[in-house]
C-alpha cells in the first residue's frame, strides 16, 4: 500500500468514495442529518491549498483518503474554536477495502506529519454513532475532549472531539 498526497484530478473520486464509505451510517441517523453529513463530505471546501489531502493506494487504485487540516484553521465552519493542533477529517475507506488496515495507515500518516511539523498533539471529531471509528481512535490513544463536542444539526447527534497528545504516548 502506498500512502501519498492526492492529485487534483483525483478529488472527484475521493468525494464519491467518501459518500460510499459513510453511507453505512444512513440507517443510524435521521435523514436530515445524513443530508447535512453528505453535503459536508462532498464539499469542495476541504480542497483548498492549506489542507493536506492524503490517499491510500493499492494496485494503482485509491482505496482510502483522509484530510489533515492545519492547526488554527476553521475545520468545522465555526462549530469549534480554532485549535492549536492539526485536525484529522473525513477519514474514508472504500467499503470493499475495509478491515485491511487502511484507516490505521492513514491515521498513522497524519500523526507522523503532525509530529514532523513540531506539533504536540493532533485532534479529530467524529459522530457519536460512528462506533467502529471511535474504537479505532481510542486504540491509538485518542482521548475524548468533551469541551469541543458540538451538535451541528440540533437533532441530538453529537460530534465528539478527540485529541492525541504526543507527549503522553512518546513511542507513536
Q: What residue spans define the domains of the chain?
A: 2-165
d(CA 87, CA 75): 7
Query: How many residues can be counted in the chain?
Result: 172
What pLDDT, on the 0 to 100 scale, is given for residue 80?
64
Mapping DSSP to helix (H, G, I), strand (E, B) and coil, where does residue 150 land?
strand
Residue at grid coordinates 504536540: 120
Instruction: Supply the CATH classification number for the domain 2-165.
Output: 3.40.630.30
Residue at grid coordinates 484530478: 9
Residues (pLDDT < 70) of the chain are: 45-49, 74-81, 168-172
Residue at grid coordinates 441530538: 156
Which residues are CB-contacts of 118 (< 8 A; sequence separation ≥ 6)? none
Amino acid at each position: 500500500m502506498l500512502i501519498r498526497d492526492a492529485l487534483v484530478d483525483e478529488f472527484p473520486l475521493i468525494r464519491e468514495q467518501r459518500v460510499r464509505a459513510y453511507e453505512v451510517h444512513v440507517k443510524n441517523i435521521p435523514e436530515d442529518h445524513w443530508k447535512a453529513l453528505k453535503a459536508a463530505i462532498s464539499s469542495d471546501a476541504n480542497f483548498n491549498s492549506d489542507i493536506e489531502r492524503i490517499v491510500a493506494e493499492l494496485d494503482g487504485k485509491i482505496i482510502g483518503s483522509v484530510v489533515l487540516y492545519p492547526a488554527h484553521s476553521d475545520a468545522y465552519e465555526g462549530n469549534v474554536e480554532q485549535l492549536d493542533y492539526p485536525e484529522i477529517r473525513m477519514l474514508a475507506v472504500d467499503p470493499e477495502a475495509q478491515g485491511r488496515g487502511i484507516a490505521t495507515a492513514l491515521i498513522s500518516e497524519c500523526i507522523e506529519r503532525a509530529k514532523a511539523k513540531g506539533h504536540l498533539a493532533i485532534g479529530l471529531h467524529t459522530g457519536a454513532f460512528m462506533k467502529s471509528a471511535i474504537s479505532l481512535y481510542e486504540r491509538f490513544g485518542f482521548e475524548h475532549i468533551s469541551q469541543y463536542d458540538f451538535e451541528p444539526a440540533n437533532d441530538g447527534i453529537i460530534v465528539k472531539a478527540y485529541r492525541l497528545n504526543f507527549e503522553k504516548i512518546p513511542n507513536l
